[in-house]
Chains A and B, each alone.
Chain A
Amino acid sequence: MPESLLPIRIRELRLTKGDRALLAGINLTIEDPGITVIMGPNGAGKSLMLRCLHGLIMADQGQISLGGLAVADSRSHQAMVFQNPVLLRRTVLQNLAFAAPEAAKGSPWRLIDALEAVHLADRADQPARTLSVGEQQRLALARALLTEPALLLLDEATASLDPASVVLIESLVKAQSARGTKVILVSHDHSQARRMADEIVFVSAGRVVEQRPATQFFTQPETAAAKAYLAGEILL
């Protein structure tokens, strides 16, 4: 099993474009394993925060450490699933082999197992980009899990998928979490957040506004912003 990247500490993370503070001093400590769901209005900075954690972008200021490691040193233990799956112009199986070349050589059955887990085993030789969006995202998840990440990031990964794919992806993510992978998931979908979250981090206007166990967040949100968001008053 992968080594842990906990605790994850983000200190005073700032990112400015022009005179707009996109991230306005994010402070967040995630200590517990399980699934952390990041919620918040559109444009709050959830994606930017996740991309900073993954090392895809550099903030202007602030520190991030994961299990005592800098982002760069933790990257090989992280995996990310994006909102729009990007697959190579190759077959389904070749896409997995590309992500895990050692497994492809040494233990190819692992690739088949991974395909079976996402119900794509019978599609192994199909060009990956001819799959439906839901199937593509399942393949992207299989690809991410194949690297046995200590930290799995999902950025609205089920936002535009068919219900069956959503259910399958949720159950796989939960199973992976039960096996010790820390999961951080951005979601707009309240019911999904209720189904998945052990902990909720509520982000608004480039700041972490609230961080609470999921059960408490949904029944008694602390801040006015979170209350309004849950009541569906903040759409933007």
Chain B
Amino acid sequence: MNALAEAFRLIITLDADLFEILWLSIRVSLIALAISAVISLPLGTWLAITRFPGRKFCILVLNALMGMPPVVVGLIVYLLLSRSGPLGWMGLLYTPTAMIIAQVILITPIIAALSNQVIENLHQEYHDTFYSLGVTGRRAVVAYLVDARYALTSCILAGFGRAIAEVGAVIIVGGNIDHLTRVMTTAIALETSKGNLTLALGLGAVLLVLSLLINALVISVREYAAKRQYA
């Protein structure tokens, strides 16, 4: 109970350590999200509206990659970035960049697969009309992205939620170095194992609130869209 009160104090006094960790978490996940969105949204859309042999297989792979264990992703990125690895010369291991790379690999299949499903449904509905109006190629892709904007926002938020709550990959490639690569989840893991429950609980509470906020945002986006028949 003492630890809980102390944790609460850390939060309301804007404890410097806590907020440094929080800020790094958010920064890493937001950058990963931005990179991932640029890759996954066009990929998901493209897979939904083009037809080529092997398309179904690609979607299957994407869905399988959604369930990749984070520690395996961490391990792979570690092997790539470690000094003897193929990308070792870049010296990225144990940097925020390494964590961003791992998170991008983790959430890109998630956002791509979710958005693929969204666009696929929209494509079924719009196909004849777009064809009739002579809307093809880039214009069609943009129109699908615009018209699925609310559903895609939910996909993106799901990706962000996954990224910020992720621990396995990030601890392997980031190394949980104080003031450098220590993010909320890895800090919680470390502080708990050290028996320092105060910071762990404080961070845990923040993480919980963050995840609640994301879900609240998803729900309100959904309601806003439904009211306008934009869902």
Contacts and interface: CB of A to CB of B under 8 A. Distances in A.
A80 B147 contact: no
Interface stretch (B12-20, B67-75, B129-137, B200-208): B129-137
Interface stretch (A13-21, A81-89, A111-119, A209-217): A81-89
A130 B228 contact: yes
Interface of A: 54-56, 75-76, 78-80, 82, 86, 88-90, 98-99, 127-130, 143, 147
Contacts of A99: 133
Given A127-B229, A129-B229, A88 B131 contact: no
B142 to A, nearest CB: 11
| B-side interface mostly | helix
Contacts of A143: 133
Given A86-B129, A127-B230, 18 more contacts: A54-B132, A56-B131, A82-B128, A86-B126, A88-B143, A88-B147, A89-B149, A89-B225, A89-B230, A89-B231, A90-B147, A98-B133, A98-B135, A128-B229, A129-B230, A130-B228, A130-B229, A147-B133
Contacts, number: 44
B134 A98 contact: no
Contacts of A54: 132
A85 to B, nearest CB: 9
Interface of B: 125-126, 128-129, 131-135, 143, 146-147, 149, 225, 228-231
Contact of B125 (A55, A86, A128): A86
Contacts of B149: 89
26 contacts: A55-B131, A56-B128, A75-B134, A76-B134, A78-B132, A79-B132, A80-B132, A82-B128, A82-B132, A86-B125, A86-B126, A88-B143, A88-B147, A89-B149, A89-B228, A89-B230, A90-B147, A98-B133, A127-B228, A127-B229, A127-B230, A128-B229, A129-B230, A130-B228, A130-B229, A147-B133
A55 B134 CA distance: 11
B229 A98 contact: no
